[in-house]
Every structure is written in structure tokens, then in C-alpha cells.
A and B are shown apart, each in its own frame.
Chain A
Amino acid sequence: MDDLLSEFLTETNENLSVLDVELVRLEQNPNNPELLSNIFRLVHTIKGTCGFLGLPRLEHVAHAAENVLGKFRDGELAVSPGAVSSILESLDVIKGILAALEQTEAEPAGDDSALIARLNAIAEGKDVAAPGKAPAPPAVAAEPEPAPAPAVAEAKTPAPVVKAPPPPAVAEVAQTKELVVQEAAPEPPAPIAPPPPVHAAAPMGGDADLNKESAVAAQTIRVNVDLLENLMTMVSELVLTRNQLLQILRSQKESEFAAPLQRLNHVTSELQEGVMKTRMQPIGNAWAKLPRLIRDLSHELGKKIDLQMLGADTELDRQVLELIKDPLTHMVRNSADHGLETPVERLRAGKPETGRVTLNAYHEGGHIIIEISDDGRGLNIERIRQKAIQNGLATEAELAQMSDQQIAQYIMRPGFSTAQQVTSVSGRGVGMDVVKTNIEKIGGTIEMKSQTGRGSSFIIKIPLTLAIVSALIVECAAERFAIPQISVIELVRAASDSEHTIEHINGTPVLRLRNRLLPLVSLQKLLRLGDAQEQSETFIVVTQVGTYTFGIIVDRVFDTEEIVVKPVAPILRHIEMFSGNTILGDGSVIMILDPNGIASASGEMMVSETAQSRETAVAQTTNRDDRMALLLFRAGGEAPKAVPLSLVARLEDIDLATVEISNGQPVVQYRGKLMPLVPIDAGWELRREGRQPVLVFADGDRSMGLIVDEIVDIVEDRMSVELAHERPGLMGSAIIAGKATEVIDAGFFLTQAYKDWFGSAKIEGFDEERQNRVLLVDDSPFFRNLLTPLLSVAGYSVTTVESPEIALELREQGEMFDVIVSDIEMPGMSGFEFAQAVRRDPRWQDVPLVALSSHASQRDLDRGRQAGFTDYVAKFDRDALLSALSQTLVEAKGAAA
């Protein structure tokens, strides 16, 4: 491309982005003569250069715009939104022509006569309300209401090319990996000059207005971005070489190189810093388009929007800047379109008429934080929920278990737009997912907070620069790899002798980490690094990609190192596992692993798995809530046994020498009372010495000790009794912690100790005449079995049914109960529906209803109350259940009395 032309394009693009901002300011501030003359000068420069380069179409448009501006400046015309709209539109046309110029080096064909005619008409004062008033009255001009309708409406039609950023520049930035040596077209915002008008040294020179600022202009020079990139690469090399030299120096005791190397060290550090600075640009450059965008939006949507930009001078690497520009624009647009309400709605909600969108950027520990917040209506959780169900992203049951924050995360999913109508502004279904991907691509994260009625905010965290990252060096099959530190959460050592061991599910490795199962990926398998050798210990790099956390199995972990990321050779780009390569301090080349690539490689496997086992997954979701704490122990026989921990009062270790025999039964003095001891294994023989673990069950002032051989563990697991047992004392068998485990029936042993155990509660007596009748509705046989003894012990007469439908049949049969305890998650009719059904019919209308659920958050509570539940209890909280029952009964009786 012709040098002169490319110079012109760069400069004009810069001028145009300044103009966008300035014009909006002018509209709000029509009487600022300096602003006006600045705008006039910029447009004049564009026009002048066009004429100079022989670009007639551009020249005519610019000329017409300049005419209007000239009238503004001379005070012959008042600044009006209509006129400003027309000028902005002419800028769009200019941008369109420029974009075409950049591609074809020739002006595209096109007809701007309509626009020019309108501009001329405005210049002649035809389209303006008060043409006569010479010094523009601020009251009229500052009115930000949409301009006379025709001007705006027409404005849409004659400008088919509105896309502003020149495509080549964008394309080049998109391929960040290819920045090495390209003779690229100059990119629009030159890195050095700050956006305000500095480049006054236009080819035409001369004008008196211009000289004022030329002194500032002399302070900066325009440098090709490629040159800077090269410089950066060279400095990176220098840094690496310096590191190598320092490493050598460290191994030598006395060296005459020590002093000069020290100096080299300092100089290199400073040089690196300096070069990094040249790449830094204020984030305000990425925001330059936003005031214009917001202005157009407010006109189009009929909203009043105030855009606040804080920390615009926060600097970050230009490469990063280019990459976040579009996501930012998108999010601001979203905030203004979806987030903010119309003035009427705002007034109704008691908020100021003008909505506010705030952008805030600041540094925080090696990262840049950008917050985009609005004071609008917040995310509509209900609509997101509906949409998620509609799109099949989640089932209603799953959503019911999620917090609002979790539900809100769905807007980051592909193809998710909650806008009820697709406006021209946003809501086309390409949205936050793209934003999220783009931000994650540069190693950033995005967080979201939303308060209904108060607004929402998005917090983006991105690294300062992409060039140098901190990376963890790991080894696998004798090969070293680097993992970017930002995605590493923690390191776990897994060995047979440590508390963490890798377990396998059908060959898939997993790790238990703080009560969660962490999926693992073997780097060795993933990278096909030959056969696995037996390792006595391995390390697990816990990695997070978005919300997906997984562990990467490696053989060894070294320390972290600052590395310069270099793109891999083009012939290797198709390998998704690597984001680049680098040279370490010792001079060796090392590949940088891409956590995103690894996640998607392992994620794909997961997708296919889910597809296969969807049915099991559904079954699991219903049962997933049945997780409970279980005490595992051994007693007679090899198979481990289990009892729900909530039933056990204490674990004791009894000295067998203290055991006495009373009434043919072993007893022990325990807390000043006699406690009968019951062996699980009938063949158990009392020894006279040693110690014996005992599970103590207590109720009121009675307690009973269940003799076991060994207490193994306490686990939290899903428990579904799979095999029922004929043997008394055993409820059945279940798989717990991966092993077939016998679940004991605590109730059986209690009656062994005291024949009247279940009757005993009468003594505590809620009601001496009759026991309170409880109807227990739960689909899980295990829970029915578990709760029946529990409630019986507490003195209730318990009737259990396995589904709400059967419970309602009992109602038809005329049964009456004092209280109904119901599960929430049940196949068929849910607990909520059951509650509604109970409340609808007069017969059971006044029976208190207690909900049992594994979720007892405030929201569940509210939902339960709405459905008609009297109380809401967490499933495994036996004390809470008992107190809720007695409380409910007391209240119900009080009400009846």
C-alpha cells in the first residue's frame, strides 16, 4: 500500500474515534468553543487530506459535515441532536469508505447525495428548530431527547456500511499467534499517542488553530506496531540469555564476569520494563467508542443513560487491549439494552430517571480488573430459569436446587439470550458465551453479580500482559511441560502412603478431595507419552477452566518460572494441547500446556459418557440428595457394616474388665447408670480383658451400647439399600464407599436391650391418652425404615407410605393424622404438589405438614411455605425433625384449642 495512503488511514481512523467522543461531549455541552473548534479542526483535517490524496467521495462528505460544524463554530447555528446525528452519520460513511479503502486502495462506489443534501439543509438552517438565534441557547440545545424523528429515521437508510474498525487490523489481532514477522497494514490506534488531539501536524499544516498544540505533537512519534513487537521479542530473548548467564554465574565462585553481569542484569531489567511500557496503552482507548454507542442506544431505545468511565488511564498490553475491546463493547451494550429500564419503569421503581452504566478499571496484583455495572433491573432469574428449561440445558429439578447465582451462570452458555424481543441492539443469541470465550482465551476470568431491582455487575480479570506469564514446570514420562500458573489452583501429592490416593472408576482415575470427587486426566495418556510406569507417588495439578475443575496427573512438579510465551510452529498448531512453547533458563525448549485444550479433550470424553448414561444420570439426580453421613464398622464377618451416623449418640471404647453381667445380659456402668451391651454378632463371646469399641445409642435417659469389632470410618455417601435381608437386625445391603456394606437396623437392637424401648417414650409423654399419629411419605424405602424407628422412639405412631398418591388414598379412606412428614423429591407427584393437594381438600386441610428435604436454604423454605408446608427440615437432622414435630403439634393443638 502507498505509504502516504496508509499514513492517512491510520491518522484518519484515530481522528474519527476522537471525533465520536468529542461530538457526544459537544451535544451535552454545546457552548464549549474549544470543543467546537477542535471538532471542526479534525473534520477539516480529514477533508483537507482527502482532497490532497484525490479522494472525492470522502472529501464531499467531510466537506458537508465541516460546513455544518463551521456554522456551529461561528455561532450561526445551534447545536441540536438532529444535526449531531447527521454529522455522526457522515462519520460512519467516512469510516465505511475508509474500510473499503484499506482493502482495495480505492474509493468504493456509492452515492452520498442524500446525506450531503441533508447536511447542507441543516447548514442552511432548514432542519433546525431555532435557526435565527445566534449564540446557541443552552436550554434548547442541551435537550438530549431524540431529534426530530425524520432525521433519525432517515439516518438509518443511506448508510449501509456502518462497521467502523478496519477489518485487516482485527483479523490480524485475532491471530495472535502469528504476530512474528508480518508486514501488516498499520493499525488504527498507534500505541503511543494518548487519544486527545495530539497529531496536529497534518499534511496541510498552516492553520492558525493548529499551532497551539504542535508542541505536544513533537513529543510523540508514530511507530509501526510490528517494530514494537519485534523489539519485544528481542528483549524477551535478552532476558532469557541474561537468565542463562546468571545461572552459570551462580555455579562459579569467583568470577571476573560477576560485576559486568550484574550491570547487564540491571540494564536488561530496565530495558524490559521500558519496552513493556511501549506496548502499554490506556484502557480508555478501548472505551473510546462507548460514549457514542451509548448515545445512539439511548436514542434508539428511548432510555436515558449516563455512562461513567473510571480509571480510563489504567494501562494494559495492547495485545490484550485489542482482544477485550469487542467483549467490552458487547457487555456495555448488554447493560444498556437488557440491564437498564425505560425512564417510566425506573421512576415507578423509585429510581432516578437516568440509568447509569459504570465502567471501572484498576490494577490488582498483576491483573487488571474491569467492572461493568449498571443500576438497572438486574438479571431476571425467573426468565433465565425458563429459558434454561426451554433450551434443555437443565431440568426443573436441577434448577430448583441451584442458587440464583448458579442459575445466572446460564447466560454464559452458548445460544442463550433472554431478551424477549430481538432488538436491533442486542438479543441475537450470540452473546455472553462469546464474551466469556474471548476473555478466557487470554487467560482471564469473568464473574457476575446481580441483584434484582438493583442492577448487575460483571467483573473481568485479565492478565497485564500476554508476553510473559508465570508457569508451573512439571514432568511427565521424563518430559517437562509448563502449565500457566493462572489456571492452577493447587497441587496435591498422591501416593499410597499419603491421605490422597488415586482411585479408578472403570479405569477412569478420580481423586477424593475435600469431600468432592475430582476428575483426573493423565498427562501421560493424553499426550501418548508411552506406557505408564508404576509410580510410587504422583502429583496432581488441580486446574480450573471456567467452572470446570479437574486434576492433571504428572510425575513430578518443579518450581514456577517466568516464561515468554512463543507461538508454536505452524505445522504444530493443530495440536490443541499446547498454547505455545518457550525456552527455560537452562536453555531447553519446553512445551506450554493449554488447560483449555486439555479440558476440551477430556471434556469431550465426558460428553459422550453423559450421552450414554443419561438415564442413569437422571436416576442419580433424584437420588443424589440421599447422601448422608454413615458410620462404617466391622462386627462379625468380613463385610463392613454401616449405620446412619445421626442415630449414634457417641462412640465409646469400653474396658472389658468393667463389664458386668446382670440378668444374663452384659451391662456396663456408664455415666452413673447401667447401660446394656448388645452384640451385633450373636456368636460374640464376652472376653474379660482388653477394650471393645461400642456404639452408644441414647434416648432420653436411656442408653444402649452396640458392641462392634472395629470402627472403620465415617463417610458421606448416597445410600440405597439394594438387597433386603431376611436376617433380623439387618436392613439390607448397600454399596457404600465402593464396597458392599450391610446396613444394620438400629431399631432391632434397641428392642433387644429394652423390650419396651419404643414404648418408653410414653413416659416422656406428649399425650398420655394416645400417641400422636404421623404419616410419613417418602419414596425411599431406606428412609422409611430409618425414620420409622426414630419416630417410634420419640413416641409417635408411624404410618408410612411410599408415595403421595397412596397418602391421598388414605385420606379417601378416612384416615386422620396429627402430622404429615413428606419428602420433597419424589417420582410422580412432588412434595410441593402433594402439599397443595392436601391443602385443597377440607379433610386434611388443618393437618400440619413438615417437609423433609436435603435442601433447606431460605429459598426452599419459602417455596415450601407457599406450597402449604408448615415447617421445613433438613433430611438428616434428626433433632431438628423431632423438635419440628413437637413444635408443630403444640402449635396445631394450641390453634385447635
Chain B
Amino acid sequence: MSTNLPATTKARTDVAIATGNDDFVTMTIADQLFGIPVLQVQDVLGNQKITRIPLAPPEVAGSLNLRGRIVTAIDVRLRLGLPARDRDKPVMSIVVDHRGELYSLMVDSVGEVLSLSSDKYERNPATMDPRWRDLSNGIYRLDETLLVVLEVSKLLNFANLEAA
């Protein structure tokens, strides 16, 4: 437990104190740009063979083998309440470490790593979809578009979802 506490606290303070620049891996889902702090990202994967897990929550797409470790795949689209992706569309995944377990976040595409300055950061607008607001840590104003920062720990917090 204690091994990952520093990581999460650090991520949070990065956003909160926000002095200087933070690095994010960007990705798109349904034409919306999202970002995850680069330090939490382990891997970026292309299409993978995924084993279905019966009885699992619908957001859990299955599990896959990443160099001998079993990784649980989460369909971020479904997690965000978006419609499922077309079968023939390509999938990319970002592998993150959460409390010692690896999770693969399935997204439409993965972009570059951006270093974003804190003066472009803003809290979530109050009018945002509550489901998104729960999973997001804030917004960065980019030149052409907006980047929603996803918080991995909330994204993987299924217990809360069930309780709610």
C-alpha cells in the first residue's frame, strides 16, 4: 500500500500547487482530448488479444498478458458513459499502475506527451457532466482545444460506482 501512496499524493500536489509545467500523455476518446500524468503511465499498447471476464462490470473489457503480467483492460469510453466503439475501429491502450496492479485503459488513440504550464489550468466547470466531473481533475486550455485531465485512481474506483 505504502509503495504507491507517494505517487498519488505527488500527482495531486502537482495539480494543486501547479508551479511550472506538468507533463501529460494525451489521448482522444470520441474526439475529446484527455490527459494522464506521464509519471503514472507504464506503456502504450496497440491492439491486443483480450480475454473476456464473465460477470465483470461492463467497463471491464477483459484481461491481457503484458510481458508475463496480467493486465486488466478498462474501456474508458464506457467508463465515461459514452457509447461503445465500433468493432472495426482500432483501439489503443495506455497501461497505468494503480496500487501495484496494472490496468490498461482502452482509448481511441494516443497522442504525444505535452508539457503544460499551470497558468492554463482550470478547475472543472460546474456545469460539466457529473460523471465526468467525478473522474476529472481539471481542464487545461490548449490553443485549439481543451484537455481533460483524468484521475486514474478515480477512474479505477469501481467500488464507489457500485455504492452510488
Residues in chain A within 8 A of chain B (CB atoms): 180-183, 237, 240-241, 479-480, 527-529, 566, 569-572, 575, 577-578, 581-583, 587-591
Contacts and interface: CB of A to CB of B under 8 A. Distances in A.
Contacts of A572: 53, 56, 60, 72
B144 interface: no
A592 to B, nearest CB: 11
Given A479-B54, A578-B53, 9 more contacts: A183-B1, A527-B54, A569-B72, A571-B60, A571-B156, A577-B54, A588-B51, A589-B62, A589-B70
B63 A569 contact: yes
Contacts of A237: 68-69
Contacts of B49: 588
Nearest to B56: A572
A575 B55 contact: yes
Contacts of B68: 237, 240-241, 583
Interface in B97-132: 99-101, 103
A180 B69 CA distance: 12
B57 interface: yes
A241 B66 CA distance: 12
| Centre residue among A241, A529, A583 by max chain B CB count within 10 A | A583
A566 B70 contact: yes
8 contacts: A181-B3, A182-B1, A183-B2, A237-B69, A241-B68, A479-B51, A570-B99, A572-B60
Contacts of B54: 479, 527-529, 577, 591
A571 B72 contact: yes
A171 to B, nearest CB: 13
Shortest 3 CB-CB contacts between residues of A and residues of B: A527-B54, A237-B68, A569-B72
| Centre residue among B55, B62, B99, B103 by max chain A CB count within 10 A | B55
A192 B123 CA distance: 54
Q: Is the interface of A mostly helix, strand, loop or mixed?
A: mixed
B158 A571 contact: yes
Nearest to A587: B65
Interface of B: 1-3, 49, 51-57, 60, 62-65, 68-70, 72, 99-101, 103, 156, 158-159
Contacts of A575: 53, 55-56
A177 to B, nearest CB: 11
Contact of B53 (A566, A582, A591): A591
A571 B57 contact: yes
Nearest to B157: A571
A775 to B, nearest CB: 62
A857 B72 CA distance: 57
A588 B68 CA distance: 10
Contact of B101 (A183, A529, A569, A588): A569
B162 to A, nearest CB: 9
Contacts of A591: 51, 53-54, 63
A572 B54 CA distance: 10
A479 B101 CA distance: 24
B103 to A, nearest CB: 7
A590 B51 contact: yes
Contacts of A581: 63, 70
B103 A569 contact: yes
Contacts of B55: 527-528, 575, 577
A91 to B, nearest CB: 32
B51 A589 contact: yes
A565 to B, nearest CB: 11
A879 to B, nearest CB: 56
Contacts of B159: 571
Contacts of B60: 571-572
| Centre residue among A180, A237, A582, A589 by max chain B CB count within 10 A | A589
Contacts of B100: 180-181
Contacts of A240: 68
A480 B62 CA distance: 13
B76 to A, nearest CB: 14
Contacts of A183: 1-3
Contacts of B65: 583, 587-589
A751 B101 CA distance: 83
| Centre residue among B53, B69, B99 by max chain A CB count within 10 A | B53
B63 A589 contact: yes
A89 to B, nearest CB: 37
A181 B7 CA distance: 15
B113 to A, nearest CB: 26
Contacts of B53: 572, 575, 578, 591
Nearest to A564: B68
A479 B56 contact: no
Contacts of B156: 571
B142 to A, nearest CB: 32
A72 to B, nearest CB: 45
A636 to B, nearest CB: 53
B27 to A, nearest CB: 21
Nearest to B158: A571
Nearest to B161: A571
A877 B65 CA distance: 63
Contact of B70 (A479, A570, A583): A583
A240 B70 CA distance: 12
Contact of A570 (B52, B63, B69, B101): B101
A583 B63 CA distance: 10
Contacts of A590: 51
Contact of B64 (A566, A571, A589): A589
Nearest to A590: B51
Contacts of A587: 65
A577 B53 CA distance: 11
A337 to B, nearest CB: 40
B95 to A, nearest CB: 13
A572 B99 CA distance: 14
A582 B57 CA distance: 20
Contacts of B62: 589
A886 to B, nearest CB: 65
Contacts of A180: 100-101
Contacts of A241: 68
A183 B1 CA distance: 7
